[in-house]
Structure 1
């Protein structure tokens, strides 16, 4: 994590059992990131200003703009108002299919500026069936590791994390951001850049589980999504339709499986 993504700020701390006094609090940077395709502006994301190449690469894939091999280059330029990130596509690449937007993408929302209902909930690919399974007990071990490795979250208590784990619970890659969608896009882009196979593990997110998080995980090609918060009804419906295993309300002492339970096993039991 670059130190440039945090900013110490002074505050007045009040506690019921002690006198008010000054403190210094580490806060995360939230920067306007202008995303364009072949020089054409598309949207402005409010994001933590690191891993921006991963953010752009992941956005292209999880928003079904284009396939990862279509990306020829990603140019990043810092301006006074923020950061400009331009994705250049290879000559002859397929047509761009980005959802049209007319507003900035705020850190709390994955669909800001989408103009039509048809663009909000689009058809999803169906994940292929797989013989790979995940033991229930691996999930709390992954959560414990994730909490330890969230450097920006530990400093600020104001960011989200998205992480990819192996079926054994080994942490493969972690990304953090003030926006939950940005964190997941950064993770997707990082996996693509490193040549990792998303189908070979599972994703854990520290945010609430809305349907956009489900959609991005499916388009990554990852079959299992674990969230620490509860899912919406639409998130469950989309998971079932796309053959995604959705685990939510994940805690150290247990979790709930809302879709795709056949991918989760308990070696100590005879049945799933």
Structure 2
């Protein structure tokens, strides 16, 4: 029934007991209930001997999260030689070691990144990513987009298990490849970036799907990863649209049922899907949109 799950290289494991826990409470009638809630824990990141940031995270894939964070903050470059990534689960610490000291270790003072996505640290030199972007003109068929979003919405996830979570998906054509979740949407994005870096994934023919809003930071991170298409069920910010247009990024939002809006990079789209065969999204499914 869900044979497409075999297409994934990596996807959520909502049954992982480390990621959620049972909590008792009461419902709207006063009846006693038990429900599952997402677990969050601190993870302190070091770059060599320098403490960089403490992030609140669900704790899976700390290696990918650490590498992706440093890459997307421009504290590592794709050609930086990483000699080791060491995770101490007892101390909630991950250390990324490089062959030489980097130029960016002093740029980020110690800061707690909250589960409310308050990242708030995008350096001015990251704007060079937008100004110098050379994204490939990879085509996007609308039939791929509809099939892809359907598969993502049918994938078992921690969101469906316990909520309070964001998701990011790396895809090619209509095939989801890597699905990461976390309490902060930027963490989920950074895990994708770290996975791509660690496994040498070519971004040229990829699509990036996020359950979060299409903000300036989401656009900058997608462009920095070299991915030409960014898609979300959620809406846009004005600066996110402006930066996407400057970078030549295809930006698609409010992708629900048969509807979507493309506000940048429409030239990549090939409108090959007959909308008569795409069902409208029910009100119930609109309310339970993943990661919102």
User: Structure 1 length as normaliser, TM-score?
Assistant: 0.87
Indicate the residue corresponding to 2:231 in structure 1: 226
Indicate the residue corresponding to 1:54 in structure 2: 64
Indicate the residue corresponding to 1:214 in structure 2: 219
Residue 191 (str. 1) matches residue 196 (str. 2): yes
Deviation at 1:120?
Answer: 9.1
Determine the C-alpha separation between the residues in 2 that align with 1:190 and 1:50.
Answer: 12
Deviation at 1:226?
Answer: 0.3
Gaps of 5+ in 1: none
Deviation at 1:123?
Answer: 2.7
When residues 98 and 187 of structure 1 are mapped into structure 2, their CA distance, relative to the original with a 3 A threshold, is farther
Residue 180 (str. 1) matches residue 181 (str. 2): no
Alignment of 1:1-272 (within 5 A): 1=13, 2-14=16-28, 19-70=29-80, 71-79=82-90, 83-91=92-100, 94-96=102-104, 99-112=107-120, 114=121, 119=124, 122-125=127-130, 126-167=132-173, 169-267=174-272
Could you list the runs of 4 or more consecutive aligned residues of structure 1 that deviate by over 3 angstroms after TM superposition?
117-122
Deviation at 1:213?
Answer: 0.8
Q: Residues 204 and 225 of structure 1 are in contact (CA less than 8 Å); yes or no, is this contact kept in structure 2?
A: yes
**C-alpha deviations, 1:116-160, integer Å up to 9, x for none?**
x96497332443253420012222221111122242111012111
When residues 78 and 3 of structure 1 are mapped into structure 2, their CA distance, relative to the original with a 3 A threshold, is same
User: Structure 2 length as normaliser, TM-score?
Assistant: 0.82
Ranked by relative contact order (alpha carbons within 8 Å, sequence separation 6 or more), the top structure is 2
**C-alpha deviations, 1:148-197, integer Å up to 9, x for none?**
22421110121110001112x11111101111000011111112222221
Determine the C-alpha separation between the residues in 2 that align with 1:150 and 1:179.
Answer: 19
When residues 150 and 216 of structure 1 are mapped into structure 2, their CA distance, relative to the original with a 3 A threshold, is farther
SS of 2:45 mapped into structure 1: strand
